[in-house]
Structure 1
Amino acid sequence: MRLLLLPLLFSLFCGSLTAAESVRLTNGEWPPYLGEQLPHKGVASRIVAEAFALQGVEVTWEFHPWARSLQLAERGKRDGSAVWLHSSEREEKFFISDPVVESGYYLFHRKGYSFDWQQIGDLQGRRLVGTRGYDYGAAFQQAEASGQLRVNRVTSDETAFRQLIAGRVDLFPMDKVVGFDMLHQHFSAAERAQLSFHPKPLRSDSLHLLLSREVPGNAELIARFNQGLAQLRESGKVTQYLLEIQQPLSLAP
């Protein structure tokens, strides 16, 4: 009898190993927060994965263009996607987590450019460049749509920075951490030294994990994720990880 029980117990044990919980999430390229070739898939991906791990859930990442990443999650073909702005429209289709990371957009400009602003109207008459498809906040978008602001939309953030350094435009709104990372990856120290940014943020937002309402069990899963995220924050690791990506970055040569 004991000999017959051993294979049964072994198969049950192996089955428990393969039955470990997992979640399939989509992602996109936004270094240093997100990136397929980055350590830990980027700092935001790392926070998401470790928060889930504290709840016994393993993350499998898939990287796609942003629109496809959202669409796959929205239709329930993947469990969810990271990381996104909160909106009422997204609440209809997703369970939205507590904030994973914070994003702050600032107006970059050349050093020596005399510039100050307090409200969107103060930007009127400035030569602005923006990246196609980017939302720089309701006030900015409305001013652009009405013609109050004239914004040259280009195909990439790198192109916008090159126009700024060349003096073809005056101001470029960009997430500060992402902007610093891009400048370090694609521009020389001499080029970086030509730039500065205004201390007043154009927009500040939190970014979140989205879990599809089309996937059964996701209501419970988002609650567990939030618990894991709170644990990770309390441990100090979230602050540590964010400092690790920010400390090496500056505009100084």
Structure 2
Amino acid sequence: MRFALLLFVLLCGSAQAADSVRLTNGEWPPYLGEHLPHHGVASRIVAEAFALQGVKVQWEFHPWARSLKMAERGERDGSAVWLHNSERERLFHISDPVVESGYYLFHRKTRDFDWTSIEDLRDLRIAATRGYDYGEAFQHAEAAGELQVVRLTNDEQGFRQLLAGRVDLFPMDKVVGFDMLHRHFSPAERARLSVHPHPLRSDNLHLLLSREVPGNAELIERFNRGLAQLRESGKVAQYLLEIQQPLTLSH
């Protein structure tokens, strides 16, 4: 009788654990953010995709490097949302694409600017944010000293440097950049900036679940099923449209 009771408790505990997942997160409005509605649109997509599979998400917000390391070590189940690369594939189960990120070059309207390849950027001063990967071609040219790049602490500094005329270009995810400009800059400042239509890089962002956590291989499959259901319902497209509707560099 005691053995049966113990087995029942263990099974219930295992089922309960399987129905919740602890994920790390960070600040990248409007996609991610502790104090944003639904913790940002990417967090909302992740949480609702899991909910369709009966899994509740417990979010924790940390600096990005810490968020990734905690998930990598299996101290948390995973982290949202990240680029796919070979190193992360070794350490994590990587989901189907959650959202797409497109980096574009912001510049002042007073500069007559056009480009098609990295070589076109060699004579221009470029602000970039520390720790960001702007694509293989950009990273290689920067490392080789072929580009004039100054790495700054955060994205807002990049826009400040651009407006002050200290740099000529600043690469930024367009959705994130427009959101930041509307939150931290005046209409007059926004009106001085433009963004080139040719993307510097365009990539998908994914949920990562640690390979150190037992059961995560099955959990990523459940998440992908939920994500597919959410896309088919039209809600993913709706949520992404909601954050893009107000994007403009004018008033």
Question: Normalising TM by the smaller chain, what interval?
Answer: over 0.9
81-90 vs 127-136, greater mean Cα deviation: 127-136
Task: Using the TM superposition, give the Cα deviation of residue 194 of structure 1 relative to its aligned residue in structure 2, in angstroms.
Answer: 0.5
2:16 match: 19
1:225 to 220, 223, 226: 223
Q: State the number of aligned residues.
A: 241
SS of aligned partner of 2:137: helix
Give the alignment's TM-score, normalised by structure 2: 0.93
2: CA distance between counterparts of 1:179 and 1:211?
A: 28
Aligned to 1:177: 175
Q: Who wins on radius of gyration, i.e. which is larger?
A: 1
Aligned structure 1 segments of 4 or more residues deviating by more than 3 angstroms: none
Provide the residue aligned with 2:4 in structure 1: none
How high is the TM-score relative to the length of structure 1?
A: 0.92
Unaligned runs of 5+ residues in structure 2 are 1-8
Deviations 1:3-39 (A, max 9, x none): xxxxxxxxx9xx79x9371000000100000000000
Shift of 1:165: 0.9
Structure 1 unmatched ranges of 5 or more: 1-11
Residue 249 of structure 1: how far off its partner (Å) = 1.9
Determine the structure 2 residue equivalent to 1:139. Answer: 137
* Of 96, 99, 104, the match for 2:97: 99
Matched ranges for 1:158-173 at <5 A: 158-173=156-171
Matched, 1:110 2:95: no
Separation of aligned partners in 2, 1:93 and 1:219: 12
Q: CA deviation at 1:133?
A: 1.2
Counterparts of 1:59 and 1:133, CA distance in 2: 27
Aligned match of 1:213: 211
The 3-state SS of whatever aligns with 1:133 is coil
More displaced stretch, 86-95 vs 18-27: 18-27
3-state SS of 2:59 partner:
strand
CA deviation after TM superposition for structure 1 residue 58, in Å? 0.2
Whichever residue aligns with residue 157 of structure 1, its letter is D
2:83 maps to a residue whose letter is L
**Equivalence for 1:55:** 53
**Residue 152 (structure 1) shift:** 1.2
The Cα offsets for residues 204-247 of structure 1, whole Å up to 9 and x where unpaired, read as 00000000001111001001100000000000000000011111
